[in-house]
Structure 1
């Protein structure tokens, strides 16, 4: 491949974004065409920049006041023509990692594996393959429950309820805001927790902390 791979880097931590950019700029085959500190910035870059690969954290400010980039990446990956996405994360929850794979991301790289793995992840994404860095692969392999990719992906409704609940709203408050019944909201909350492998409220809060919702 003679042309450079055009990459957008998105992460809300300046040190991570700068470090990744410098690492990739040292590779002759890669060109950084944009950097974003939040999901809004990433959305704007995708509108104006032609790129071959997106490298993005998910625990960064989302659109419309959200706290996570997952919903936006879901929309990107559902598009007819879209660049492959490499997720750069510190998440160590097997159900969330498997959910990202079902979402359609091309690679997941643990931030602690970045130096050794990111170039390989980009190459795999460009070739149409799927890549997992060592720490991500280990988390999935040692999980007591084998990842059920389709089952662990939350619907847009379930994700909305889950986010509002982790922000401190009670079920009846969510029901009022979303103009749904309390029974519906309770069901969607329980379904979201089941899909994510969360059994207790403590599990829910810890998971939300890991992905940057709290």
Structure 2
């Protein structure tokens, strides 16, 4: 590659960021343009520096008191253009991994896989391909409902209903808060679950716990 791939590394663990940056610096075609310990710092970096790929953990402190980066990624993916995102994680729950793909991430790398997987994921992302490391692929392949990458992204309203529901609000309470009918809220909740590959209430709560919403 003649043009370097510009990367921002985001993780709330200092040792992980240092290790990732040390690895990426061994690749002459990759340039690290910033590092962030939380999504607020990540947002500031993205406003300041041109970036091709963001490498981020999913359980990182978020903006507005959230404990994950999902809400931030949703806003990021609505922008045009936006950098590709490669998630670096220890999560092996198939529904969670499916949800990340539905959200629009370009790659998922399990921290237990080989270090070169991350470089492969970055290269795939800038080439427009979806990359799954070995551990991630095994988790998805052994699930009952393999995800369809980049399909079924939740609408803003579905995501809003989903968040309120996993926070403990009943359908009628969400309807009252958002000034919509109970039927509309139920439909949006079911649609969100379907898009995320969640079949039962337990699946929904487990998924929410994995991304820090519950």
Following TM superposition, by how much is the alpha carbon of 1:158 offset from its aligned partner in structure 2, in angstroms? Answer: 1.5
- State TM-score, norm by structure 1: 0.84
Post-superposition CA distance 1:137-177 (Å, at most 9, x none): 11222222232446643222111221222223333333333
Following TM superposition, by how much is the alpha carbon of 1:47 offset from its aligned partner in structure 2, in angstroms? Answer: 0.5
Q: Distance in 1 between matches of 2:18 and 2:35?
A: 9
Give the alignment's Cα RMSD to 1 decimal.
2.5
What is the aligned partner in structure 2 of residue 181 from structure 1?
Answer: 181
- State TM-score, norm by structure 2: 0.84
What is the aligned partner in structure 2 of residue 43 from structure 1?
Answer: 43
Structure 2 regions of 5+ residues with no counterpart?
Answer: none
Q: For residues 200 and 84 of structure 1, do their structure 2 counterparts lie closer, same or farther at Cα, with a shift above 3 Å needed?
A: closer
SS of corresponding position for 1:137: helix
> Is 1:24–1:30's contact at 8 Å kept on the other side of the alignment?
yes
What is the aligned partner in structure 1 of residue 158 from structure 2?
Answer: 158
Pairs aligned (count): 214
What is the aligned partner in structure 2 of residue 71 from structure 1?
Answer: 71
Post-superposition CA distance 1:53-93 (Å, at most 9, x none): 11122333333333432233233234332222212223334
Moved over 6 A (4+): none
Q: For residues 204 and 130 of structure 1, do their structure 2 counterparts lie closer, same or farther at Cα, with a shift above 3 Å needed?
A: closer
Post-superposition CA distance 1:85-140 (Å, at most 9, x none): 21222333434434433443221111222623111111222333221100111122
SS of corresponding position for 2:187: helix
Q: For residues 187 and 73 of structure 1, do their structure 2 counterparts lie closer, same or farther at Cα, with a shift above 3 Å needed?
A: same
Q: Distance in 1 between matches of 2:182 and 2:46?
A: 38
Q: Distance in 2 between matches of 1:45 and 1:16?
A: 18
Structure 1 regions of 5+ residues with no counterpart?
Answer: none
Q: Distance in 1 between matches of 2:18 and 2:174?
A: 38
What is the aligned partner in structure 2 of residue 116 from structure 1?
Answer: 116
What is the aligned partner in structure 2 of residue 27 from structure 1?
Answer: 27
Q: For residues 156 and 61 of structure 1, do their structure 2 counterparts lie closer, same or farther at Cα, with a shift above 3 Å needed?
A: farther
What is the aligned partner in structure 2 of residue 209 from structure 1?
Answer: 209
After superposing the two structures, state which structure 1 stretch, 64-73 or 31-40, moved more: 64-73
